[in-house]
Amino acid sequence: MNLTLSIDEALAERARAVAAGRGKSLNQLVRDLLEAETGIHDGAARASVLVELWATSTGHSGGVRIRREDAYEDRLK
């Protein structure tokens, strides 16, 4: 289905930059956002994102220790 949206040109340019930074088209970025907001998710796409994150992340905190209490501080108030 094709959908036409009316948005500000500045917003469109920022969105294109975000999409390009993620290696996606603006069309794919909008589709992904709509799927996330409506609870519809492509399992293969999610797995692909996770695999990419695992491949590009060092998984190290740089020696910073995070206490459990600090990690959940905002939830306890």
- pTM, 2 dp: 0.50
Predicted confidence at residue 77, as pLDDT, reads 62
Give residue-wise pLDDT tens across range 9-50: 999 999 999 999 999 999 999 998 888 888 767 778 778 888
2 within some domain: no
45 within some domain: yes
Which residue range is the domain that position 14 belongs to? 9-76
Total number of domains constituting the chain = 1
Q: Which residues of 32-70 are buried (b: 16+ CB within 10 A; e: fewer)?
A: beeeeeeeeeeeeeeeeeeeeeeeeeeeeeeeeeeeeee
